Amino acid sequence: MTGRRPLRVAPPAVGWAVAAALPLAFLGVFFAWPVAALVARGFVAEAGGLDLTGLRDVLGAPRTWRLLGTTLAQAAAGSAGSVVLGLPVTYLLYRTRFPGRTLLRGLVTVPFVLPTVVVGVAFRALFRPDGLLGFAHLDETFAGVVLALVFFNVSVVVRTVGGLWERLDPRAEQAARALGASPARAFRTVTLPALAPAIASAAAVVFLFCATAFGVVLVLGGAGYGTIETEIYRRTTQFLDLRTAAVLSILQLVVVSAALWAAGRARARREHALHLEHEDVAAHRWSVRSLPDVAAAVATALVVGGLMVTPLAGLVVRSLRHGDGSWTLDNYLALGTTGGRNALVVTVWQALATSLRTALVATAIAVVVGGLVALVVSRRPRGSGARRAVGALDAVVMLPLGVSAVTVGFGFLITLDRPLGLDVDLRTSGLLVPIAQAVVAIPLVVRTVLPVLRAIDPRLREAAAVLGAAPGRVLRDVDLPIALRSLGLAIGFAFAVSLGEFGATAFLARPDSATLPVVIFRLIGRPGAQNYGMALAASVVLAALTAAVMMLAERLRGDRAAGAVGGEF
Amino acid sequence: MTTTSPRRGRIVGAALAVALLPALAACGGSEPAADAASGAASDTVTLITHDSWAVSEDVLAAFERESGLTVKQVPMGDAGTLANQVVLTKDSPLGDVVFGIDNTFASRVVDAGALEPYTPAGLDASAQPYVLGDGALTPIDRGDVCLNTDVAWFEEHDLPEPTTLEDVAKPEYKDLLVALNPASSSPGMAFLLATIGAFGDDGYDGTGWTGYWAALRANGVKVSDSWEDGYYSEFSGAGEGGTRPIVVSYSSSPAYTVSEDGSATTTHALLGTCFRQVEYAGVLRGAANPAGAQRLVDFLVSQPFQADIPGQMYVYPADASVELPAEWTQFAPLADEPFEVPAADIAANRDSWIEKWTATVIG
């Protein structure tokens, strides 16, 4: 709040407090409490009482530090690779206009939601001696794991940075060019600093995703490869060794918090009001005469073609073949059945309907909670206490990305039997599935909407307030039009996360029926060429559905969005 | 979307609505009856299972008609996850009956005291020997984890197929075997148990099972982290580009690789290399509907359900007197003498065995 009009301070302050309290309550009940409860169990001795020997044993083991090293290296390399490869793609998709752009934007997001087990298989096929990348000997190597992680996460960078970049006023860069700066220099000195907050945000999200990656690491890393996440998983599911798992979870939290703190610092130093434009004003028609445009197109062709299309094409081709290599549509026709010798309980189409229903609920929760968080965090209150609280909320909301799905899933079990006096055993109701997915999606919603909200010049809001607009009116006429467009992206993102989420979903009760990734996992868990073909066909359907959802989200724009919004005084 | 509605009051209202969504949905009657833990009406019985659970609709419907019970099926995770969930929630059970605890996790669940002993009267004599924990766990189905071979590969290379565990450690089978990591794969754990059952601590020329695995390592064994990865990416018999003709899989796997005309299968299970996995059902201690829970376990060992098992879950009924589909007897028989390791030993040593295996094979 600007606090310009003392008479109005009290009610808005209450409003902001409520807006902050709701997301905190939600994350408290569905994330912090379950995780804390499970970790706490690891520190309770057999006979009761506090037992801290786990700390000594785990932190004293050289293996723990080896795992931590691998985790950090993997996350750092994965996020660096995603940013470097993602930026040229972002430029092409959000700063230039060309036919087929929307389609390409949809395509770029597909990897993000594919089931890891399928992606693992696709990459294995590439890495095999007779595969396309066989010459590089990437199978069961660190580089192979990182490459797959980049495949998954480039879209996070493209989306998060694209939301801001598409609205960046091009005139500042044009002015630099007019004063004689080379395109590279103008980009480095004008555009890059403006994008820094969004890049830092994206890098932090990707870092967390890579640090807690599980399925891909298991398939591509080989038996000797391990991270903190895989170790937590093994300790918990194989041995029910909560003592070790608890210490590892705390270690994971420390790493994640440090990464978030660093990203927050990088953001805070760079965040300032920008001149924002309506997106179609800022983008220019792609031109073969523009060096940046051509360079970005070439880079995009390499990234999208080499990193995304190649593995995906392998999937699509195999889904259109029989086990013996002849072409067929049988795998797709089989999606209406329960698979070879009844591998499934429901047909793939039924699972798809379940997935969509679940995703709708998860998205609604994630967008409301995430939207509230973004709104609160985008304000810069006067008081240092309030400012610190806002900063804390910003960081806390990211934590779910950095905590093992196993820890959250098992935590749910020991806390959510009739929570808060509700007469419902949430654990087996099936409601936890969309809730768990929303918890994962909220950070992405925040990271997508927040850079745009933060870039709004506060003087605009002040001016509106001075002219007599009530706080609600300021929100409606200043923040909303600008936020709407990125909200569309956020909705698409949340939906995609929900559609593809498997880690937590696999742990939770699903009394109604399985989601699509669960069905794919079940199909690929059976021998037989038909089941394998069906699993790939179902993955292609999931990919196509995701691309379609993302393209729809692209089209979600506020029809009342103002043309140019900038602090022109 | 009501996310950024113009009036603060409405924002709060919308957010409150979402926060209350679980509660509303819970009261909305989306499920026919309340949950097990809240003292539900005794006409609903909640069955928690692993993800591979399946039953024919008509078979279940017949039971529901006959008993007047409504069965709420709740799949949650794989067998290991399920067992752990039962242990973690023993003071506040997730349902009335659990199905899908296997003999590699059984003792963990029994020792935790999560189950109420109950042995159905209808349990066939052939299944009696499998009963565990003084009746806490009732055997429902069986399956064998065995080495599988790619028939065509051995024909092409003019090499006889191996038949025993010792064979695959011999030089002529160098670089041909795909094993699975027991720390991350349940069939991988089962095959490790087959070798422990076969060689113990002093078999295999006095070197025991660790000596055997050291020999496998020297013979170029490849270890995958999951069955999917091992079978589809490494095994030549899956036809997906793998190059190794021997893999750890199930005795029932060859029934999935039968030719179009049903005359032959392209893979074999080596029945001298198997570990017997048994899956159990049990009544959860503190069940909201104990009478219904017992009725449900009775149903799981009854003839109609036992006969439904092979077609639905692709394992063998625990009741040996139940007739099997023809192609099962032809292509996917059970092993006559699978290797065995007592459930209590598995529970006591699981951790140290996996660590020993890792030290021996991964280094």
- CA B268 vs. chain centroid, Å, equals 21
Residue A426 with chain B: CB contacts under 8 Å: 22, 26
Q: Give CA separation, A48 vs A41, A232, A244, A412, in Å.
A: 10, 23, 17, 22
B60 inside domain = yes
| Structure token pair of residue A57 | 């044993």
Query: Which segment of A35-39, A79-83, A134-138, A274-278 scores lowest on mean pLDDT?
Result: A274-278
**Kind plus residue range of the DSSP H or E element containing B46:** strand B44-49
The confidence score (pLDDT) of residue A340 equals: 67
Alpha-helix runs per DSSP H in A187-270: 192-211, 215-221, 228-237, 242-270
Does A472 touch chain B if contact means CB atoms closer than 8 Å? yes
Domain containing residue B284 = 44-142+277-329
- Whether residues A475 and B4 touch (CB distance < 8 A) is answered with yes
Domain A327-559 top-level CATH class: mainly alpha
Residue B333 burial class via C-beta count within 10 angstroms: exposed 0-12, middle 13-18, buried 19 and up: middle
- The answer to whether A310 faces chain B, any CB pair under 8 Å, is no
Block residue for tokens 């972002």: A90
Using a CB-CB cut-off of 8 Å, the residues of chain B touching A233 are: 184
The residues in A 528-547 lying below 8 A from B, measured between CB atoms, are 528-529, 531-532
Which of A187-201, A267-281, B77-91 shows the lowest mean pLDDT across its residues?
Answer: A267-281
Whole-angstrom distance, CA of residue A193 vs CA of residue A195: 5
Q: Does A111 touch chain B (CB under 8 A)?
A: no
Cα distance between residue B136 and residue B86, in whole Å: 13
Tokens of A260: 């978030």
pLDDT of residue A561: 36
Query: In the structure encoding, which two tokens stand for residue A132, read together?
Result: 């396309």
Q: What is the pLDDT of residues A461-508, one digit of tens each?
A: 888 888 888 888 888 888 888 777 678 878 888 998 888 888 788 888
Pick the residue of B18, B177, B261 with the most A CBs within 10 A to test the interface with A by mutation: B18
Residues B174 and B194 in one domain: yes
For the record, the structure tokens of A275 come out as 């001149």
Could B256 and A340 be called an inter-chain contact, meaning their C-beta atoms sit closer than 8 Å? yes
pLDDT of amino acid A455: 78
Chain A 381-410, CB below 8 Å of chain B: which residues? 409-410
Domain count, chain B: 2
Return the closest-CA partner of residue A229 out of A211, A253, A205.
A211
Q: Which pair of structure tokens corresponds to residue B263?
A: 């005359």
Residues B223 and B347 placed together within one structural domain of the fold: yes
CB-based burial, B58-87: b 16+ in 10 Å, e otherwise = ebbeebeeebebebbbbbbbbbbbbbbbbb
Contact between residue A71 and residue A227 where contact means Cβ atoms under 8 Å apart = yes
Cα separation of A276 and A165, whole Å?
9
Same domain for B319 and B260: no
- When pLDDT is cut at 50, 70 and 90, the band that residue A363 belongs to is very high
In a domain, B116, yes or no: yes
- Tokens found for residue B150: 């790619």
Assess contact for B102 and B278: CB atoms under 8 A.
yes
Please, which residues 256-285 of chain A have a Cβ atom closer than 8 Å to chain B?
none
Q: Which amino acid is at B192?
A: L
The span from the CA of B179 to the CA of B192, in Å, is 9
Residues of A in contact with B1 (CB under 8 A): 367, 487, 491
Question: Are the CB atoms for A224 and A160 separated by under 8 Å?
Answer: no
The whole-angstrom separation of Cα B232 and Cα A176 is 56
Task: Choose among A214, A124, A341, A527: nearest CA to B248.
Answer: A527
Q: Is B259 exposed, middle or buried (0-12, 13-18, 19+ CB in 10 A)?
A: exposed
- Phi and psi dihedrals of A276, rounded to 5? -105, 145
Q: From B182, which residue of chain A is nearest by alpha-carbon distance?
A: A238
**Where is average pLDDT lowest: A9-23, A55-69, A191-205?**
A9-23
* Token code pair at residue B240: 């997906």
CA-angle at A395, arms to A394 and A398, nearest 5°: 100
pLDDT score, position A7: 43
Task: List the beta bridge partners of residue B157.
Answer: none
Answer for the pair A521, A457: CB distance below 8 angstroms, yes or no: no
Question: Can you list the alpha helix ranges (DSSP code H) found in A378-425?
Answer: 384-396, 405-415
Domain map (residue ranges) of chain A = 69-271+293-314, 327-559
- State the residue for tokens 């440090």: A258
What integer pLDDT is reported at residue B24 of this predicted model? Answer: 37
Alpha-carbon span B363 to B348, nearest angstrom: 23
Half-sphere exposure of A168 (CA within 13 A, CB side): 27
Give 3-state DSSP helix, strand, coil % of chain A, rounded to 5. 75, 5, 25
Counting as low any pLDDT under 50, the low residues of chain B are 1-40
Instruction: Extract the tokens encoding B128.
Output: 């009696």
Structural contact between residues B178 and B247, judged by C-beta atoms closer than 8 angstroms:
yes
Q: In the predicted model, what is the mean pLDDT of residues A419-443? A: 86
Interchain CB distance below 8 Å, A506 and B81: yes
Residue A307: what pLDDT?
Answer: 84
* pLDDT at residue A425, rounded to an integer: 84
CB under 8 Å to A246, separation ≥6 — which residues? A38, A39, A40, A41, A42, A43, A54
pLDDT(A180) > 60: yes
Which tokens is A236 given?
């918990």
C-beta separation of A148 from A119 below 8 A: yes
pLDDT at A252: 92
Would you say residue B160 lies in a domain? Answer: yes
pLDDT of residue A271: 66
In angstroms, what separates the C-alpha of A291 from chain B's closest C-alpha? 40
Average pLDDT of the segment spanning A404-432 = 84
Closest-CA distance, B226 to chain A, in angstroms, reads 7
Same domain, B284 and B203: no
**Is the CB of A19 less than 8 angstroms away from the CB of B227?**
no
Least Cα distance to A491 among A445, A446, A544, A548 occurs for: A445
B150/B256 same-domain check: yes
Which range, A218-227, A344-353, B2-11, B70-79, is most confident? Answer: B70-79
| pLDDT value at residue A174 | 87
Contact criterion met (CB below 8 Å) for A71 and A228: yes
What is the DSSP code (8-state) at residue A430? S
Please report which helix (H) or strand (E) contains residue A149, including its range. Answer: helix A142-165
The pair phi, psi for residue B251, each rounded to 5°, is -70, -20
Are B246 and B296 part of one and the same domain? no
Are the CB atoms for B154 and B161 separated by under 8 Å?
A: yes
**B72 and B221, same structural domain?**
no
Instruction: Tell me if B114 is assigned to some domain.
Output: yes
Q: Across the interface, which of B6, B36, B226 has its CB nearest the CB of A475?
A: B6
- Please tell me the class of the A69-271+293-314 domain: mainly alpha
The counts of H helices and E strands in chain A are: 26, 4
Q: How far is CA B239 from CA A427, A448, B153, in A?
A: 41, 43, 11
For residue B322, the domain's CATH number is 3.40.190.10
**Residue A314 predicted with pLDDT over 90:** no
Question: Is the same domain home to B111 and B175?
Answer: no
Q: What is the C-alpha R_g of chain B?
A: 24
Q: SS3 sequence, A458-472?
A: HHHHHHHHHCCCCHH
- Please tell me the distance from the alpha carbon of residue A446 to that of residue A455, in angstroms, as a whole number: 14
Q: Are B201 and B123 within one domain?
A: no
> What average pLDDT does range A426-455 have in this prediction?
87
Question: Which residues share a beta bridge with B340?
Answer: none
List residues bridging with A96 in a β-sheet.
A284
CA distance B173 to B147: 13
Helix A529-555 vs helix A310-319: angle between axes, to the nearest 10 degrees?
Answer: 130
* Bigger pLDDT: B110 vs A5: B110
Is residue A366 very low, low, confident or very high in pLDDT (cuts 50, 70, 90)? Answer: very high
Residue A40's Cβ-count burial label (10 Å; 0-12, 13-18, 19+) is middle
Do residues A74 and A197 touch, judged by C-beta distance below 8 A?
no
Confidence of residue A50 (pLDDT cuts 50, 70, 90): confident
How close is the nearest chain B Cα to the Cα of A262, in Å?
30
Chain B contact set for A337 (CB, 8 A): none
Q: Which tops the pLDDT comparison, A522 or B294? A: B294
* Distance separating alpha carbons of residues A514 and A520, to the nearest angstrom: 10
Mean of the pLDDT values across residues A199-225? 86
Which of the pair, A380 or A59, is modelled with greater confidence?
Answer: A59
> Rounded to whole angstroms, how far apart are CA atoms A514 and A348?
9
Q: Mark whether B233 and B304 lie in a shared domain.
A: no
* B55 and B133 assigned to the same domain: yes
- For residues B194 and B91, state if they share a domain: no
Contact A66, A251 (CB under 8 A): no
Chain A CB contacts of B14 below 8 Å: 368
Per-residue confidence band for A272, with pLDDT thresholds at 50, 70 and 90: low
Judged on CB neighbours under 10 Å (0-12, 13-18, 19+), B218 is exposed
* Rg of chain A taking only CA atoms, in angstroms: 24
Mutate to test the interface with B, among A324, A375, A423 (most CBs of B within 10 A): A423
Structure tokens, B8:
């603060």
Which of A413, A422, A527 lies at the smallest CB-CB distance from B26? A422
Q: A410, A567, A536, A552: which is closest to A115 by C-alpha?
A: A536
